[in-house]
A and B are shown apart, each in its own frame.
Chain A
Amino acid sequence: MKAIIRQELLALSRERLPLMLFTVFVSMISVSSLIGFLTKTTVSDVWIRTREAGLTSAPNPFASLSPLYYARNSIIYIILVGTLMAIIAGVSSALRDRKAATIDLILSRPTSRSAYIYGKLIGITIWLSLSLFLVGVIAAVVISIIFGAALPASDYARLAVFFLLALPLLSGFAVIGMFAGLLSKRETSALLLPISFWAFVTFVIPQIGTAARPVALLNPVPLPPTSGGPFGALNFFIGPFAVSEQFKVASGKILNDPDISGDFSKAIISILGFAVLTSFLISMVKRTSIRGVLSE
């Protein structure tokens, strides 16, 4: 299994497609803190102007916000860019041996099917961990620069926990990508089916449970379900499957965002459950499916 993990890490570091999305991911996480800073500065300036003009006596809404506010947008980039990166890494990994027609050779060695699958999965998870570690360090450095001083240790710890929580979410989507890569007959379907699944989980499921519009779901703050009617019950049953919304709840709580409402423990269970369930289900993929010939 060690050889498979090593090979997976080597392949992922060489392949252009996961690296392309990784570059977008790193750029967006770096820029997101800067956007947060610009916005906060502008809002504070607006407040100063209105106060000076005698238009308001309300306190500055941003006066007591923690520096972790600047990491708020990272939540949405993990959901939009990070998960797609994980899917592409999963698909690329699963298709690699099928495309090169080396899968028969690998499975002719004393390697079990589960060692092959889990070796790849562990390799991808290590690659995702390294990616998240890197973006976490970048985010911490950028926020410290914007804040003008080192953050309190508890804030760094919160940032670390936030990026750590992203790992099961990304791993779950990487497994979905692996599923498609192992089972699809065509390369195009292998890429499109998990992306469609991602769109379903990110936009359609939350809408049914909360009546939130798809564009509103691009907001890092999850919307609570409409009170009354069937939405409370729908959200109770469907909500846990909206893992991206659950990730927003858990991350917001970790980052001390005062606007976040929702059940933290339910959100954590949902994210971990997603990762564990997908990891368990992939062990059921049959040997014949893994060896299936690609039509293109």
Chain B
Amino acid sequence: MNKIFSVARMEILDIRRSKLMLSLLGFFLIAAIVSVVVASIDFGVKADAYKTYTDALAASGITNPATAPQLFPLHLMRAAIEYLEILGALFAIILGYAAIAKEKQRGTLSLLFTRPIGNFTLVLGKLGALALVWLAFVSIVVLATMLTAVIAGHAQLSATDVGRLLLTILGAWIYLLVWTAVAVSIASTSKKLTTALIVSIVLWLLVVLVIPQVGDTMDPDNQVPGGLFKSLQIAKPDETAVLANFTGYNSARDALEISSVTKHFERYTFAFLGIKDQYNQQPIGTVWAGVFINALALWLFAIGTLVISLFTTKPKTLLRTSK
């Protein structure tokens, strides 16, 4: 166990010393904070527009029939979560790749494996360290964006909101671990490190950007600005009845979407943050029941990728691919 801790300690020290890693993580944190500031300003603009509209109607003796825009503090984090979804996954790949690549590049593996260490010591130490780094990073990002929402957006948090945020941190942490484990596996089994990095990035491109984009494109309601069914003036129950005739098409679209871990992460976090309308202001238990499948899928992706990385990062494989 001490050896695993030694590897983990060394890994954390390396990350702390890497200017590139710190710059990337710093860049992400700034982008996330800016996104909350932008969302807060955007809300302020909409609230002002509503007030101006209401005042103009009042001056004409008419009551404004539209409801005032309501601030839900957790909604301000939506863009930050989407950054975690896209850029977070990319940076998780970079960190996972770097953890293995540096050992291969420095030629330290042969020396390391002359010591009496077990088959899984190195990978457990490295994954443990990266898990800690991601937990700290996700917590900092969520805390910083929430503080920004409170200061810039004048938002107020309830105790339930804190619970929702903790569950969001948990989901984001698992999601980033999945990508780190994928990159560790690919870097361990590739003889050429550049190939490993590009293969990981192509995978990221397909799973994080292309599959969800294709899924969204295939949604008939997204094909007309403002929504297809709104433009056809069709009520929700009728919409459901009409779509029941297209189960084959919708099942294919859904199957495509759920093949991407990113979509599960999105559905999970959007539900807990109340971004998805049906879960907004619902008790945590209700939300949990609704997204249990997505939470389970996230865990299964994590367990699967971690197990694969354990078995692909054995000394024998590493020594063979680093020659």
A42 near B246 (CB under 8 angstroms)?
yes
Min CB–CB distance A288 → chain B (angstroms): 21
Residue of B45, B83, B198 with highest tally of chain A CB at under 10 A: B198
A211 near B20 (CB under 8 angstroms)?
no
Q: How would residues 117 to 139 of chain B score, 1 for a CB under 8 Å from any chain A CB and 0 otherwise? A: 00000000000000000000000
A-side contacts of B38, CB under 8 Å: 207-208, 211
Please give the number of chain A residues whose Cβ is less than 8 angstroms from any Cβ of chain B in the complex.
Answer: 60
Q: How would residues 33 to 57 of chain B score, 1 for a CB under 8 Å from any chain A CB and 0 otherwise? A: 0110011011011101100000000
A-side contacts of B163, CB under 8 Å: none
Given A58-B233, A213-B82: A226 touches B223 (CB 8 Å cut-off): no
Task: Give bound CA distance, A197 to B198, whole Å.
Answer: 16
A188 at the interface (CB under 8 A from B): yes
Q: Write the chain A residue with the least CB distance to B224.
A: A61
Query: Considering the complex, which residues of chain A in the window 59-91 have a beta carbon less than 8 Å from any beta carbon of chain B?
Result: 61-62, 73, 76-77, 80-81, 84, 88
**Which of A46, A84, A88, A199 is B87 in contact with, Cβ under 8 Å?**
A199
Given A76-B213, A218-B213: A49 touches B245 (CB 8 Å cut-off): yes
A81 near B41 (CB under 8 angstroms)?
no
A243 at the interface (CB under 8 A from B): no
Query: Considering the complex, which residues of chain B in the window 212-233 have a beta carbon less than 8 Å from any beta carbon of chain A?
Result: 212-214, 216-218, 220, 223-225, 228, 231-233
Q: How would residues 190 to 206 of chain B score, 1 for a CB under 8 Å from any chain A CB and 0 otherwise? A: 00011101110110011
**Which of B86, B197, B220 is A215 in contact with, Cβ under 8 Å?**
B86
Given A17-B198, A56-B232: A211 touches B42 (CB 8 Å cut-off): yes
Task: Give bound CA distance, A214 to B32, whole Å.
Answer: 11
Q: From DSSP, what is the main secondary structure of chain A's interface residues?
A: helix
B-side contacts of A40, CB under 8 Å: 223
A241 at the interface (CB under 8 A from B): no
Q: Write the chain B residue with the least CB distance to A221.
A: B225
B210 near A80 (CB under 8 angstroms)?
yes
Q: Write the chain B residue with the least CB distance to A31.
A: B214
Given A81-B205, A229-B44; 17 other pairs, CB 8 A cutoff: A20-B202, A31-B214, A35-B218, A42-B246, A50-B242, A53-B238, A56-B234, A84-B201, A188-B197, A192-B24, A196-B24, A199-B86, A207-B79, A213-B78, A214-B86, A229-B41, A259-B225
Q: List 23 A-B contacts (CB under 8 A).
A: A17-B198, A24-B202, A24-B205, A35-B218, A46-B246, A56-B234, A58-B233, A61-B224, A73-B217, A80-B209, A80-B213, A81-B210, A187-B194, A191-B197, A199-B87, A200-B31, A203-B31, A207-B38, A214-B83, A218-B216, A227-B49, A228-B49, A230-B41
